[in-house]
Amino acid sequence: MSSLLDSLKIKVFADCADFPSIREALTYPWVKGFTTNPSLVSQAGVDNYTAYAREVLNLVPEMPVSFEVFSDIPEKMAEEASIIRSWGKNVYVKIPVINTQGESMGPLIRELSSEGIPLNITVIFTAAQTAEVAKHLDPGTPALISVFAGRIADVGQDPLPIIHKSREHLAGHPKAELLWASTRELYNIFQADAAGCQVITAPLGMVAKLKNVGKDLTQCSVDGVKAFMADIQKAGVRFSA
């Protein structure tokens, strides 16, 4: 690995659900964990969530893996969380910070965290949401606090102030790790690391690109021109007389 990659303190988690992607991600030494979500699971054609999860955990028996609840009702979420946690010691239960009605899941987070269930609190968009989550976390229970930095940027806002403020809100929780989610470009990994995030999730294509970190930029320029010329020749494009 390049010295740039070696200097990173942040842990890279692969955000994928289908088995070929998981197997490929496991070949990269910089991958330290996995996250899934209902959208990715659906796209992977999963119909039996429990059987699917157990197969994932057969592939990934030690690294942290996050599986999300499906329900929108706190009582049902609690039931699903207990089931998901029973799947393995390395499992984090993903709970959205709010439900579809905009109601805070703070009480549920408090209940599950106090039971010692490692949580991945997801779909966080504001520092105020992080502050609310922090109030309900048990300091002795591991947690991932997933701020959707990429989607914040998608609406024209700089996610970094929110990341920095969220970091402050989690200061009293040594087992809570700030996670940069919805990563859009490779450089976000370096931004997240500099901002103090302990974890970042990235899709498989981006995880694979980490092998290019440290590549000489002049050589990138040469490679780019070669690629353009190859495409022109392949397409048979000609100037008219």
Angle at 65 between CA 60 and CA 69, to 5 degrees: 135
Span 168-197, average pLDDT: 97
User: Could you tell me if residue 184 is inside a domain?
Assistant: yes
pLDDT computed for residue 4 by the predictor: 79
Q: Is 72 within the bounds of a domain? A: yes
State yes or no: pLDDT of 34 exceeds 60.
Answer: yes
Three-state DSSP class for 220? helix
> Does the residue 173 lie in any domain?
yes
Domain assignment present for residue 187? The answer is: yes
Domain total in the chain: 1
* 51 in a structural domain: yes
Helix (H) or strand (E) segment spanning residue 124: strand 119-124
DSSP E strands in the chain: the ranges are 11-15, 31-35, 65-68, 91-96, 119-124, 143-147, 176-180, 199-202
Cβ atoms 131, 171 nearer than 8 A: no
Residue where the block lists tokens 């403020």: 165
Phi, psi of 200 (to 5 degrees): -135, 140
Residues paired with residue 144 on neighbouring β-strands, in sequence order: 120, 177
* Average pLDDT, integer, range 19-45: 96
Which positions ≥6 away from 34 have C-beta within 8 Å? 13, 14, 15, 16, 22, 25, 56, 60, 63, 64, 65, 66
Looking up residue 127, the CATH number of its domain turns out to be 3.20.20.70
pLDDT for res 6: 81
Tokens of 199: 């974890």
Q: CA-CA distance, 121 to 95, in Å (whole number)?
A: 5
How confident is the model at residue 7, as a pLDDT? 86
**Mean pLDDT value across residues 204-228:** 94
pLDDT of 43 above 90: yes
Does residue 227 form part of some domain?
Answer: no
- The answer, yes or no, to whether residue 201 has pLDDT greater than 80, is yes
Quote the pLDDT of residue 238. 86
Give pTM, 2 decimals: 0.93
Report pLDDT digits (tens) over 75-110. 999 999 999 999 999 999 999 999 999 999 999 999
Give the position of tokens 């992607």: 21
pLDDT, mean over the chain? 96
In this prediction, residue 1 carries a pLDDT of 52
Q: Are 117 and 81 in contact (CB under 8 A)?
A: yes
Q: Is residue 238 part of a domain?
A: no
Give a yes or no: residue 203 inside a domain. Answer: yes
Question: Is the pLDDT assigned to residue 135 strictly greater than 60?
Answer: yes
Contact between residue 189 and residue 213 where contact means Cβ atoms under 8 Å apart: no
- How far apart (Å, rounded) are the C-alpha atoms in residues 70 and 60? 22
56 vs 18: CA distance, rounded Å: 9
What length is written for the chain? 241
Is the confidence at residue 240, as pLDDT, over 70? yes
Q: Provide the domain limits for residue 26.
A: 3-214
CA distances to 9, 53, 66, 200 from 82, in Å:
32, 14, 13, 25
- pLDDT for res 30: 95
Flag the least confident range among 42-46, 111-115, 146-150.
Answer: 42-46
